[in-house]
Chains A and B, each alone.
Chain A
């Protein structure tokens, strides 16, 4: 158990809908990262937050948005869902902004299925 929690574990929804994925980082970690992993694909970095502020952006679609709250939990919002958005969404956390030996610890993931 990495100490990172994600809810829900599974989510099934329809095209065009909007969903929110939630992540709580390990105690004391200030950074939260979101990744998308499609079937047989590598981890695609979406976005990073550090202490409430956006720190880095990867290949995140405009239909997707995220935020990190004062208690450091984070939410990833996916809207106008398409079939291709079906994937495992991982959240990871790390103690700092990503310096030195700072290592990312991954949550169990949310499996999103868009029908």
Chain B
């Protein structure tokens, strides 16, 4: 079956680094996305990985290992505004027809 697993909640301190893990089992793979979603708001795109390795974008980095079905999102220099849910999503077919979202990891940043 299709499955995306992420921790439900994480807590970290302002200024610290946090790593949010995602493991997936899908029938196909054509890219992995990370989105940020503040409560009651729309998800916003953070990163996209389709090849193995690390993609860096400012304070955010995302890593992918296709052989392990594993990704992580790394957030550095945490700010209070980073408190949000982080959604891992996999596009499961070459035609890009379907993107499956994980339930999300709720991150709490404390002072």
Write the residues of chain A forming the contact surface with B, with a CB cutoff of 8 angstroms.
2, 4, 33, 35, 41-45, 48, 55-56, 58, 88, 90, 96-109, 111
B111 at the A/B interface (Cβ < 8 Å)? no
> When chains A and B are docked, how far (Å) is the Cα of A58 from the Cα of B98?
8
Are B41 and A104 in touch, CB under 8 angstroms?
no
What 0/1 readout, one digit per residue, does chain B (85-109) give for beta carbons within 8 Å of chain A?
0010101001111111111100000
What DSSP secondary structure best describes chain A's contact surface?
loop
Interface pairs (28), CB distance under 8 Å: A33-B99, A42-B87, A42-B102, A42-B103, A42-B104, A44-B101, A45-B99, A48-B97, A55-B97, A56-B97, A96-B96, A97-B95, A97-B96, A98-B91, A98-B96, A98-B97, A99-B95, A99-B96, A100-B31, A100-B96, A102-B96, A104-B99, A105-B45, A106-B35, A106-B42, A108-B41, A109-B42, A111-B40
What 0/1 readout, one digit per residue, does chain B (44-87) give for beta carbons within 8 Å of chain A?
11001010000000000000000000000000000000000001
B24 at the A/B interface (Cβ < 8 Å)? no
B43 at the A/B interface (Cβ < 8 Å)? yes
Option from A43, A56, A108 in Cβ contact (under 8 Å) with B101: A43
Option from B33, B42, B102 in Cβ contact (under 8 Å) with A108: B42
Write the residues of chain B forming the contact surface with A, with a CB cutoff of 8 angstroms.
31, 33, 35, 40-45, 48, 50, 87, 89, 91, 94-104
> When chains A and B are docked, how far (Å) is the Cα of A103 from the Cα of B33?
8
What DSSP secondary structure best describes chain B's contact surface?
loop
> When chains A and B are docked, how far (Å) is the Cα of A106 from the Cα of B99?
13
> When chains A and B are docked, how far (Å) is the Cα of A44 from the Cα of B94?
20
Are B45 and A48 in touch, CB under 8 angstroms?
no
Are A43 and B42 in touch, CB under 8 angstroms?
no
> When chains A and B are docked, how far (Å) is the Cα of A33 from the Cα of B89?
14
Are B103 and A2 in touch, CB under 8 angstroms?
no
Name the residue among B40, B44, B97 with the largest chain A CB count within 10 angstroms: B97
> When chains A and B are docked, how far (Å) is the Cα of A90 from the Cα of B41?
10
Name the residue among A44, A98, A102 with the largest chain B CB count within 10 angstroms: A98
> When chains A and B are docked, how far (Å) is the Cα of A41 from the Cα of B85?
11
Q: Considering only CB atoms, which chain A residue lies closest to B45 in the complex?
A: A103
